[in-house]
Structure 1
Amino acid sequence: MASEQSGDVVVVGGGVIGLTTAVVLAERGLRVRVWARDPVERTTSAVAGALWWPYHIAPVASARPWALRSLDVYEELAVRPDETGVRMVEGVLGETELDDVVEWAAARLPGVRASSADEYTGSGVWARLPLIDMAAHLRWLRERLLRAGGTVEERTVAGLAAVEAPVVVNCTGLGARELVPDASVRPVRGQLVVVANPGIRTWLVSTAPDGELAYLFPQPGRLLLGGTADDDVWSLEPDPEVAEAIVRRCAVLRPEIAGARVLEHRVGLRPARPAVRLEREVLPDGRVLVHNYGHGGAGVTVAWGCAEESAALAAPS
């Protein structure tokens, strides 16, 4: 048992929430090990479109401060986009009222305004937001953790109570459904189509009257098209008909997409919960278990705010 307790903290989960939390803990001087079932390249985070915006997350009252703290960090990281994968990019949030944004974020989003008819045919908001290349960003997070003295191990965990460390941080996302267990964690399936970028430089998110979602995110060397939000669907297999519908919806918004060459299909399962669980639990043997999961479609958006709060909960009381 002594060898298992050689580190101060074990973070279970290697997606953006787990890695960001591990970085914050390690840079505060703790010895941190990340235990991840899959390599970072195969996590749900790797599939994310990764526009900074609190989507499909509750409670709003907590998500917004977490998001704004994360915005601070992403703005700093955007100075080195080739290294960090973070860029500040302009685009339109369709079906969004300017007053709703002004209420909580206008002071942090210089230049935010109502979109023009040339930019978007419906009601929308033009903003400059972080857009994150997750392949690059996850690699960068892992390397930053290693530089801070942390480690990453591919390791399957049968139960959180079996992780023998003084402090365990549960960043398992959808895995918390079985590991906690917490039946309130549910998948929200998202499918994307990756195409060769026909020259689009701005992002766009649009919701049709029937609720169908369409978004396009320009990333280095490619364009990500989405998407779907299917509750309680577990399939990770891309659906060809869904893919065709995604391309059609996006081509309505930007006609040049219609002939774009398809590079890849992706599917991810967002870990939705009625409310994010971010809390400290003291186990019967006195060890500390911090829960940080259930971020829905906003894991990237709130990662740094939640990581800092998790680190505070993990500290000795």
Structure 2
Amino acid sequence: MLDRRSVLLGMSGGLLAACTTTGRPRLSDYEASSAPFYPVDVRPERIKEILVGLRPGRDGGFRLEAEPFGDKIIVHNYGHEGDGVTLSWGCGTLAAEKVLETGEDDIAVIGAGAQGLTTALILARHGKKVTVYAEKFHPNVTSSIAGAIILTASSYGDVDLDTVARVNALAHTGFDAYENRPGTGVTRVRHHYLNRRRQDMARPDEKTLLGCPFGDMTRPTMIDMSLYLPYLMQEARVAGVAFYTETFRTPADLIALGQPVIVNCTGLGAGALFDDEAVHPVWGQLVRLHPQPEIDYSYVAPGNDGQLYMFPRQTSIVLGGTRRRDVWPLEPDPAETARLLLQHGKLAARARQILPLQVAA
């Protein structure tokens, strides 16, 4: 089965070698008819911060189900890997439905990432008494540093396709309400999947950007998590959700809670807490540059030694594309920082070469 993650990883290698071997790039019809594609300024002195996070991967796809747990019911909602933000409103809605089926009114949610906060807010809007327990909160959760472009996949491991279809159909329901609302960080962006072939090898039906062909420009939702996550937490507070710092090391710690229903949004923590051997970390590194308000486009591209993506935000320009399975240390890799700056810089150089023509057009 070919999902979004497989497509992106399958593009690795060759773009920069292919797209930069020709001479000065010509201004494509697409670039001439669109707003200027200003170059990203990737000078090292413009680095705002370098962040490392561990995506909660799970062999077989995310887990979304209810099960008896002592005298309680656990509703599991974890294992989304790099799509935790994308699937937060879809999986949060389905998890909330499973809670509502129990008929209980006092609910505990474990975890304060995008999945935990969204599920808690949905339940509170249904009139439930909700308490969120978490060891860490924003900005110290993985969701805080997610790339967060809302693009769903056609499949997620072994998750049944009816569930995937429902989750995908609900993916934008929450974000749409926040789009362009001040302080939420939820906007739309011109997004492009760049191809490894050269501009002069583009098919007649293909557009080109930065010297590389791409299929279609889309306008997905882009989330600035540094703004959105605290906004979402405040929305939950207003809806009556209570928050407590708590660490759960064993199942007995969960059973000790007073609530009869517990929603498990612990991500990587679910592996040890529930003895789920399918859970594993997927290491990723981001370089955040100081913001450039003029950049209103994004791209995903195959690069040398891995994927590349550039996402513009109100508070930063995000450069990323690293995926390393079963790597736990959270220290940044200087070699990966250098790779991201070099390869995004080569694409930016092509924008810089054709920018004067764009401005004139």
Same fold flag (TM > 0.5): yes
Distance 2:179 2:206 in 1: 24
Please, which of 273, 286, 289 is the counterpart of residue 192 of structure 1?
286
Determine whether 1:140 maps to 2:236. Answer: no
Please, which of 84, 88, 95 is the counterpart of residue 184 of structure 2?
84
Distance 2:213 2:178 in 1: 32
Please, which of 288, 301, 317 is the counterpart of residue 206 of structure 1?
301
- Residue 309 of structure 2 corresponds to 215
Structure with greater contact order relative to length (CA < 8 Å, sep ≥ 6):
2
Determine whether 1:67 maps to 2:168. Answer: yes
- Equivalent residue runs for 1:251-266 within 5 Å: 251-255=345-349
Q: Which amino acid aligns with 1:66?
A: V
* Distance of aligned partners of 1:95 and 1:31 in 2 relative to their CA distance in 1, 3 Å threshold: farther
Q: Is the 8 A contact 2:133 2:246 kept in 1?
A: yes
- Residue 42 of structure 1 corresponds to 140
Distance 1:41 1:201 in 2: 25
Shift of 1:239: 0.7
Q: Is the 8 A contact 1:11 1:33 kept in 2?
A: yes
- Residue 253 of structure 2 corresponds to 162
Q: What SS is found at the alignment partner of 1:11? A: strand
Q: What SS is found at the alignment partner of 1:191? A: strand
Q: Which amino acid aligns with 1:43?
A: V
- Gap runs ≥5 in structure 1: 1-5, 97-113, 259-317
Please, which of 331, 344, 352 is the counterpart of residue 237 of structure 1?
331
Shift of 1:44: 0.3
Q: Is the 8 A contact 1:32 1:151 kept in 2?
A: yes
Q: Which amino acid aligns with 2:264?
A: N
Shift of 1:85: 1.7
Shift of 1:222: 1.6
* Count of matched residue pairs: 234
Please, which of 117, 122, 125 is the counterpart of residue 208 of structure 2?
117
* Distance of aligned partners of 1:127 and 1:137 in 2 relative to their CA distance in 1, 3 Å threshold: same
Distance 1:172 1:50 in 2: 19
Distance 2:220 2:206 in 1: 14
Please, which of 85, 105, 128 is the counterpart of residue 219 of structure 2?
128
Q: What SS is found at the alignment partner of 2:189? A: strand
Q: Is the 8 A contact 2:224 2:315 kept in 1?
A: no
Normalised by the size of structure 1, how large is the TM-score? 0.68
Shift of 1:72: 2.8
* Distance of aligned partners of 1:60 and 1:137 in 2 relative to their CA distance in 1, 3 Å threshold: farther
Please, which of 324, 341, 354 is the counterpart of residue 247 of structure 1?
341
Q: Is the 8 A contact 2:186 2:222 kept in 1?
A: yes
Shift of 1:77: 1.3
- Residue 87 of structure 2 corresponds to none
Query: Percent identity, aligned pairs only?
Result: 31
Q: What SS is found at the alignment partner of 2:268? A: helix
Q: Is the 8 A contact 2:210 2:351 kept in 1?
A: no
Q: Which amino acid aligns with 1:153?
A: Y
Q: Which amino acid aligns with 2:295?
A: I
Q: CA RMSD, aligned part only?
A: 2.6
- Residue 102 of structure 1 corresponds to none
Q: Which amino acid aligns with 1:77?
A: Y
Distance 2:239 2:289 in 1: 36
Distance 2:208 2:184 in 1: 34
Distance 2:285 2:206 in 1: 27
Shift of 1:68: 3.0
Shift of 1:181: 1.5
Q: Which range moved further: 86-95 or 39-48?
A: 86-95
- Residue 60 of structure 2 corresponds to none
Instruction: Encode CA deviations 1:53-107: one digit per residue, 9 max, x unaligned.
Output: 1369434834453133121321221041x232211111113359xxxxxxxxxxx
Distance 1:211 1:72 in 2: 36
- Residue 279 of structure 1 corresponds to none
Q: Is the 8 A contact 1:54 1:64 kept in 2?
A: no
Q: Which has the larger radius of gyration?
A: 2
Instruction: Encode CA deviations 1:132-151: one digit per residue, 9 max, x unaligned.
Output: 01011111111111111111
* Distance of aligned partners of 1:31 and 1:255 in 2 relative to their CA distance in 1, 3 Å threshold: same
- Residue 284 of structure 1 corresponds to none
Normalised by the size of structure 2, how large is the TM-score? 0.60
Q: What SS is found at the alignment partner of 2:112? A: coil
Q: What SS is found at the alignment partner of 2:171? A: helix
Distance 2:160 2:344 in 1: 28
- Gap runs ≥5 in structure 2: 1-103, 197-204, 353-361
Q: Which range moved further: 32-41 or 82-91?
A: 82-91
Shift of 1:234: 0.8
* Distance of aligned partners of 1:226 and 1:161 in 2 relative to their CA distance in 1, 3 Å threshold: same
